[in-house]
């Protein structure tokens, strides 16, 4: 399940449909004369960034529905199903109960309203937990992992749109490495407190299938490349 075509899939069956990394506005813009005019290009791109809504709701709903349908797609025998949901990333489209917001006021990226992100997070969490309940009801022996690709981090949008504090890579990298990591093994209790996601998976596979993967020693002292601190966008991209 590949929300917004984020994952690079080679040889696996992709269950989600209608997914793309670009929205319709970006596709049209990139094929237009305006994208060749530097004096107007940045203004249009910023407008699309702040008012983005098209091609967001339906792909997300398709990803959630595909996740609910996952047990029915499992093959006879062991099946690995991976679902990537690129949300609660902005735009903040959903309220806590799943109601779609009116983004005409630009709230989609309005990080200064501290109620928007938690509301969308509550909706996404509820949908994922609903999927977990459904999977367990359909396949009681399923081994389930819930993981985030990174922890909390300073939104670049706060820096670019509202003049927020610049990104301190050495300070923020350990926070970003503090990720969500949950494992469900039917009939077993597994201690993964403080483990990296990689080691949690290795422990779970050993416990569930009798393998002998063991754990690996995580590297320490890594600092995320300081893309956010670059004063110009072309420096970040480079």
pLDDT of residue 208: 93
Q: Which helix (H) or strand (E) holds 182?
A: strand 181-184
Separation between Cα atoms, residue 144 and residue 209, nearest integer Å: 14
CA 12 to each of CA 2, 80, 127, 208: distance values in angstroms, whole numbers, following the listed order: 11, 10, 24, 23
pLDDT of residue 177: 84
Separation between Cα atoms, residue 183 and residue 191, nearest integer Å: 9
Could you tell me which of 80, 86, 81 has the C-alpha nearest to residue 55?
A: 86
Per-residue pLDDT of the chain (238 residues; tens, 9 = 90+): 767 677 777 777 777 776 665 555 666 666 677 677 777 777 766 666 555 555 677 788 888 888 888 888 777 777 888 888 888 777 788 899 998 877 665 666 777 788 888 999 999 999 999 999 999 998 899 999 999 988 887 766 677 677 766 777 788 888 888 889 999 999 999 999 989 999 999 999 999 999 999 999 988 888 877 655 554 444 434 3
Q: Which backbone phi and psi does 50 adopt, to 5 degrees?
A: -80, -25
Could you tell me which of 87, 41, 79 has the C-alpha nearest to residue 61?
A: 87
pLDDT of residue 84: 86
pLDDT of residue 232: 46
Q: Considering the entire predicted model, what is its pTM?
A: 0.75
């Amino acid at each position: 399940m590949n929300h917004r075509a984020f994952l690079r899939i080679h040889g696996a069956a992709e269950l989600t449909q209608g997914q793309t990394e670009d929205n319709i506005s970006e596709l049209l813009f990139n094929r237009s004369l305006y994208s060749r005019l530097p004096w107007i290009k940045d203004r249009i791109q910023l407008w699309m960034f702040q008012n983005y809504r098209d091609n967001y709701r339906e792909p997300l709903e398709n990803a959630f529905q595909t996740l609910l349908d996952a047990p029915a797609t499992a093959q006879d025998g062991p099946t690995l199903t991976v679902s990537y949901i690129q949300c609660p990333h902005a735009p903040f489209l959903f309220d806590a109960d799943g109601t779609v917001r009116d983004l005409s006021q630009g709230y989609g990226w309005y990080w200064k309203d501290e109620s928007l992100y938690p509301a969308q997070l509550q909706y996404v969490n509820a949908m994922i937990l609903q999927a977990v309940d459904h999977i367990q009801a359909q396949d009681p022996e399923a081994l389930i992992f819930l993981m985030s690709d990174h922890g909390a981090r300073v939104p670049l949008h706060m820096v670019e749109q509202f003049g927020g504090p610049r990104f301190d890579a050495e300070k923020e990298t350990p926070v970003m490495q503090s990720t969500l990591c949950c494992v469900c093994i039917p009939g077993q209790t597994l201690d993964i407190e403080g483990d990296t996601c990689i080691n949690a998976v290795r422990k779970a596979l050993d416990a569930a299938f009798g393998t002998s993967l063991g754990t690996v020693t995580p590297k320490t002292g890594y600092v995320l490349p300081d893309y956010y601190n670059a004063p110009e966008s072309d420096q970040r991209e480079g």
